[in-house]
Structure 1
Amino acid sequence: MEIVDPRGRVERVGTGLAPRITRPVGGLRLGFLVNEQTRNQGPDFYGYTLAIEAALRGRFELAEVVRVCKPVLSRPAEPPQLEELRYVQGVVNGLAK
Structure 2
Amino acid sequence: MAVNSFQVFGRVNIGQTVAIVAAVLLLGRFEQWEYVPAVVCLVVGAHFLPLARTFAQPQYWWTGGLLMALALVGAVALGGGDGSNGRVLLGFGAALVLWTTALHVARKG
Q: TM-score, normalised by structure 2?
A: 0.34
Higher RCO (C-alpha 8 Å, min separation 6): 1
State TM-score, norm by structure 1: 0.37
Larger radius of gyration: 1
Higher strand share: 1
